[in-house]
Chain A
Amino acid sequence: MSKVKNLQDLKKMRDELKGKINLREKSDHPESMVQIKVSMATCGIASGARETMNYMIDELDSQAIDAVVTQTGCMGYCYAEPTIEVTMPGEKPLVFGNVNTKKASEIIEKYIKNGELVDGIIPDSYETIDGK
C-alpha cells in the first residue's frame, strides 16, 4: 500500500523528515543565525567542552533557536576552558570562558535570547579563531 495517500500525508512526512536535513539547511545560511564555536582542543575536552556542546545543541534545538554549533581548535584560553565563541547575526563575536552547562544555559537565556551581557566574557580583542 502506498505511503502517501494525500497531500496531508506528504506534509506530515515532510515535517517529520525536516529534522534530518535541518543541519544542512542551517549551514547554508550561517550569516542569518547564531553561530557558536566550541573549543574542542584537548584541554577543552578535558574540562567538559563536549558536554557543553551537546547541551547547547539540544537546548537551542528544543527552544527552536536557529543556530549553528561547530567545534573548533584550541582558542588559547586554556585557563578558562571550556570556552565558546558566540556570534549573533550581524554582530561581532564574543568569547565566553568557563562555560559549563549552567553557564551555557545563562548565555542562551540572557545573551542569545535577549542580548543582555553576562559575566565571563573574555575581553581580549582577538582574531576570530580560524580567521580565514
Chain B
Amino acid sequence: MAKYKNHILVCAGTGCRASESEAIAVNLKRSIDENNLENDVQVVRTGCFGFCEKGPVVKMVPDNTFYVQVTPDDAEDLVLEHLIKGRKVDRLLYVDPETKEQVSDSKHMDFYKKQIRIALRNCGFINPENIDEYIARDGYSALGTILDEMSPESAIKIIKDSGLRGRGGGGFPTGLKWEITRKSESDQKYVVCNADEGDPGAFMDRSILEGDPHSVLEAMAICGYCIGADSGLIYIRAEYPLAIKRLKVAINQAREYGLLGNDIFGSGFCFDVEIRYGAGAFVCGEETALIHSMEGLRGEPTVKPPFPSVSGYKGKPTNVNNVETFANIPAIFLKGADWFRQIGTEKSSGTKVFALAGKVNNVGLIEVPMGTTLREVIFDIGGGIKGGKKFKAVQTGGPSGGCLTEHHLDLPIDYDSLIASGSMMGSGGMIVMDEDDCMVSVAKFYLDFTVEESCGKCTPCRIGNKRLYELLEKITLGKGDEGDLTRLRNLGNVIKDTALCGLGQTSPNPVLSTMDNFPEEYEAHVKESKCPAGQCRALMQYVVSPKLCTGCTLCARVCPVDAISGDKKMPHFINTSICIKCGACMDKCKFGAISIQ
C-alpha cells in the first residue's frame, strides 16, 4: 500500500459539485501523475465541509490549508506550488470577513472554532463511497459490540441515558420512543428513517446522507436490534439524487461486507434496508403522512394516536427517526452516554446541526453544542451581518417556527428555550434577517409556502391559512386596517388549536411571532401605509423634489405609463395614481431630484 504524505480532500457535496469540484479532483489527479507524485499524494472526494457558499472547497492534509472557490484551472497550481514548492496559493485562501486577512488553515477559521461535530463527524473527512474509510473511523464497531455484548434493553438504556432527543423537529426523547416500539408486540416491526427534509433552505439531512451514509445505516440496524425489527426503510425525496446514489452505494457495500443482511456479526440478527422515494411534499415529512405515502396511499396525515410506534407502516409498530438523530447514535455507543450528556444543556444534550442562511457573512452548515447562544452562531460562526448592516431578526424552525429578535440574541439554543420564546428548534433551518427585511413580508413568505404545501384534508389549515395569507397580502398592499391585525391574531390562534396535523398546528407561528416581536412594523403598515423596511413596493411613492428638478424632461420621456407631467424647465410632477413604481425615472434623473418616500 502506498504511504501517502499528503491527502487532498476535495468536497464532493452537492454544492461544490455544482461548481465543478469533480473537474478539480480530476485535474488534481492528472497533475499529480504528471509530476510523479502518485505514491505521495492521494485525492479524496469527501462530503460537505459546510462551507458551500465559498465552494468548491479543497483542504490539504496534514497542514489543514483550506482553499475556497477553487476552479478546475487552479488544480495545477495547487500541485506545483503547494505540494511541490511548499508555498500556499494565497489567492485561494479564505479571507476573514472582519479582519480582511487571509486565514491559512481551517483550525484558525472562526467558522469552525465553536463547532463540535458529532452528527457531521465524518462529513468532509472520509470518502462516503468507501466503506473502508468508515470502518477505519470505528464504523460498525458500535453495532458489532452491541450485537456481541448487549441486550436490546441495555442498549436502549444507553440511548435513554444519553438524553438524545429527536432532531427532526419535535425533540421527542429517542430512547423512550425505542422502548415504546420495543414494547409493542407484533410479528413484524419496522425502522424508518425520515429523510424528507422539506423546510425551505434546509440541507442538514442531505449533507449527512451524502457525506456519511454508513452512520445512518449502522444506526438503523442498531435500532432494529433494539426494537425487534428486521426491516429498515429510508424515505427520501427524489430531488436528492446524489444522496440517493451514495446511499445505494453504501447499502451495497454494507451487504457485501455482511454488515447488512442475514446473521450480522454471526449473532443471528438479520436486518436490511430499502430506499423509498418521496415526491417532495413538505407534509410527507410528518410521520403519519410519510407512512401513508410509503404504503402507496395519499401523503396525508392521520390523527395520532395511534402513534407509529404502535401502529405504523402496514399497521405494524414502526419507529420513525430523523437522519440526524440516527447519525448521533453510533457516536453515543462508541463514546458513552455520559460523554454525550456533558455536551449541550441539561435537557437538550449533544449538538444540533443548522443550515445558517440569509444575511450573514458565512452561510453554511454548522454543528454546535446545544446551549450555544444565537449571538455566537450569528456573530462568531456566521461572521456577523453582511455589508455591515444591522441585525434585525432570525427565523428558526422554518415555516413552523418564529422570528426572534435582538432581545433573544443571548438565548441558549435548545428545544425548550426556543419554544418558550415563541419559536422552535425545527429541523435546523436558521435564516438571518437585517434591517432591510420587512417582517410582514417574511410572514407572508412562509404563509405562501404553507398554503402551497397544505394537504387540504382539514378545513382550518386548508382555508384558514389561505385567509391568513390574504390578510397579510392586504396589509403589504397598504389596504389593511387595524381590525385586520385582530383578525390575524384570532384566526392564527384558531388554526393552531384546530388543525389536524403539525403542519397546520404550527403554520400561524411565523405570523404570530412577528406580530409579537415587531408590533410597530405591522402598525406602520396599517395605520400610516408605510413599510419601515422599504420593501413593500405598494407602499412606496416616487416623488419629484421641486427644488432639485431642473425640468430637463428626461423622466417624463422614460416613464412607460406617462405618469410624469411638467413643462420644460419647470419642476415635474409624478401622478402617484398612475405610477407603477418601476423606478426608471429615478435611474435616469441626473439631478437626484426623484426619491422614494
Chain A residues proximal to chain B, CB less than 8 Å: 2-7, 10-11, 13-14, 17-21, 23-24, 26-28, 30, 38-42, 53-54, 57-58, 61, 68-73, 130, 132
- List chain A residues, Cβ under 8 A from B137: 21
Determine if B297 is an interface residue (Cβ-Cβ < 8 Å): no
Q: Is B256 a contact partner of A3 (Cβ separation < 8 A)?
A: yes
Give CA–CA (A2, B103) in the complex, Å.
Answer: 46
Pairwise interchain contact B104-A68, C-beta atoms closer than 8 A: no
**How far is the CB of A10 from the nearest CB of chain B, in Å?**
5
Instruction: Give complex CA distance A7, B265 in Å.
Output: 6
> Contacts A4-B258, A7-B144 known; A14 to B136 CB distance under 8 Å?
yes
Complex interface: chain B residues within 8 A of A14 (CB): 135-136, 138-139, 141
Report 14 cross-chain contacts, Cβ distance below 8 Å, ordered by A residue: A3-B257, A4-B265, A7-B144, A7-B148, A13-B132, A13-B135, A19-B1, A21-B133, A23-B7, A24-B9, A27-B62, A72-B87, A73-B85, A132-B103
Given contacts A41-B86, A53-B5, contact A10 B265 (CB under 8 A): yes
* Contact call A20/B266, Cβ cutoff below 8 A: no
Q: Is B125 an interface residue (CB 8 A)?
A: yes
A-side contacts of B102, CB under 8 Å: 132
B443 contacts the other chain (CB 8 A): no
* Contact residues in A for B148 (Cβ distance below 8 Å): 6-7
Q: Which of B88, B132, B135, B139 has the most C-beta atoms of chain A within 10 angstroms of its own C-beta?
A: B135
Contacts of A73 in B (CB 8 A): 85-88
Interchain CB contact under 8 A, A23 and B136: no
Q: How far is the CB of A95 from chain B (nearest CB, A)?
A: 15
CB-contacts of B301-331 with A (<8 A): none
B411 CB, min distance to chain A CBs, angstroms: 31
Asked whether B140 lies within 8 Å of A10 as measured between CB atoms, the reply is: yes
A45 to B344, CA, bound (A): 49
8 Å CB contacts to A: which residues of B263-298? 265-266
Cα–Cα distance between A3 and B132 once the two chains are bound (Å): 12
Query: Hey, which chain A residues are within 8 Å of B3, CB to CB?
Result: 19, 57-58, 61
**Chain B: minimal CB distance from A104 (Å):** 15
Total A-B contacts with CB atoms under 8 angstroms apart: 114
Contact A130 B141 (CB under 8 A): no
Q: Which residues of A contact B115 (CB under 8 A)?
A: none
User: Footprint of A on B, CB under 8 Å?
Assistant: 1, 3-7, 9, 61-64, 83-88, 101-104, 107-108, 125-126, 132-133, 135-141, 144-145, 147-148, 256-259, 261, 265-266
Report which of B7, B104, B108, B133 forms a contact with A17, defined as CB distance below 8 A. B133
Give the distance to chain A from B209, nearest Cβ to Cβ, in Å. Answer: 20
> With the chains together, A17 CA to B141 CA distance in Å?
13
A17–B135 touching, CB < 8 Å: yes
Q: How far is the CA of A61 from the CA of B139 in the complex (A)?
A: 24
Given that A10-B140, A14-B136, A23-B61 are contacting pairs, would A4 and B259 also be in contact in the complex, using a CB cutoff of 8 Å?
A: yes
Q: Which residue of B lies closest to A3 (CB)?
A: B257
Q: Assuming A71-B83, A73-B85, is B265 touching A17 (CB within 8 A)?
A: no
Which residues from A are CB-within-8-Å of B126?
Answer: 21
- Contact among B4, B62, B86 with A40 in the assembled complex (CB-CB below 8 Å): B86
CB-CB under 8 A from B5, the residues of chain A are 23, 53-54, 57, 69
- In whole angstroms, what is the CA distance A23 to B103 when docked? 22
Interface pair A20/B61, CB less than 8 Å apart: no
- Identify the interface centre among A7, A39, A57: most chain B CB within 10 Å of its CB: A7
- Contact between A130 and B88, CB atoms less than 8 A apart: yes
CB contacts (< 8 Å) of B265 on chain A: these are: 4-7, 10
Taking a contact as CB atoms under 8 Å apart, the answer to whether A72 and B86 are in contact is: yes
Contact call A39/B86, Cβ cutoff below 8 A: yes
Residues A132 and B136 in contact in the complex (CB < 8 Å), given A7-B148, A26-B62, A27-B62 = no
With contacts A2-B256, A21-B126, A24-B125 known, is A71 near B136, CB below 8 A?
no
Looking at the assembled complex, report how far the CB atom of A41 sits from the nearest CB atom of chain B, in whole angstroms.
6
Q: Is the CB of A21 within 8 A of B136?
A: yes
Q: Determine how close the nearest CB of chain A comes to the CB of B4; give it in whole angstroms.
A: 7
Across the A-B interface, the 6 shortest Cβ-Cβ residue pairs: A2-B258, A27-B62, A71-B86, A17-B136, A40-B86, A73-B87
Least distance between B76 CB and chain A CB atoms (Å): 17
Among A19, A27, A28, A42, which residue has its beta carbon within 8 angstroms of that of B63?
A: A27
Neighbouring B residues of A7 by C-beta, 8 Å: 141, 144-145, 147-148, 265
- Residue of B whose beta carbon sits closest to that of A13: B135
In the complex formed, the residue of A with least CB distance to B64 is A27
Given contacts A5-B265, A24-B9, A40-B86, 11 further A-B contacts (CB under 8 A): A6-B265, A14-B135, A18-B136, A20-B132, A23-B5, A23-B61, A27-B63, A41-B85, A69-B62, A73-B86, A132-B101
